[in-house]
Amino acid sequence: MARSKSSQNWLKEHFDDPYVKKAQQKGYRSRATFKLEEIDQKDKLIRPGMAVVDLGSAPGGWSDYALHKVGDSGTVVALDILPMTPLTGVHFIEGDFREDEVLQQLETVLAGKQVDLVLSDMAPNMSGVGTVDQAGSMYLVELALDFALNHLSKQGDFLVKVFQGEGFDAYFAAMREHFKKVVTRKPDASRARSREVYLLGRGLK
């Protein structure tokens, strides 16, 4: 089957992408790892001993990076509705984090530990219809914020990927309501033409 022009362009951009090449060289699971790495280096986000929850974790790049930073004394729990190749040291729960059964599994893994950091690099399956995709992505980030508010310790932090567009300003305002400080980050590894940015909420009120 012949590939469409747009998918040929995407494949070319993907394989010419220096971050894709760098990820392959370093053995990272995805180029997205560099986004978290850059934000972490700037904001000193992940420290040894922390409990980190990674929402929408597959293929596992962020969980892998977080695991190396929290060390043996820390805990990383990855959740996704998609399967994920196991990562030694990461607790993976396959399922929808809105469901009680999945949340119970999370409580069991945490064993009373407070969550210090919630990460979310989730995005919906893109249809190519701008308004539909934006609504889908805002729905996901609202779910992630709700999860963070219910599970973070006092002073906990929340990093989430958000697409700029309808609903973005209201979401930013909601984060400012709940966190002492909210900053926007656009890592170098995030493609310039992409509307994605990362919002970092520091210190749950």
For the chain, which residues make up each domain, given as ranges? 30-204
Q: Of 2.60.40.1180, 1.10.3720.10, 3.40.50.2020, 3.40.50.150, which CATH number belongs to 30-204?
A: 3.40.50.150
Choice among 5, 22, 161, 180 that is catalytic: 161
60 annotated as a binding-site residue: yes
Residue 84 is predicted with a pLDDT of 94
Give tens-digit pLDDT for 152-185.
999 999 999 999 999 999 999 999 999 999 999 9
**88 token code pair:** 């030694």
Q: What is the number of alpha carbons within 13 Å of residue 52 lying toward its C-beta?
A: 28
Residue 12 is predicted with a pLDDT of 59
- Label residue 10 by pLDDT band (50, 70, 90): very low
54 annotated as a binding-site residue: no
96 annotated as a binding-site residue: yes
Tell me the β-bridge partners of 159: 119, 200
- Judge whether 186 counts as a catalytic residue: no
Say if residue 198's pLDDT is above 80: yes
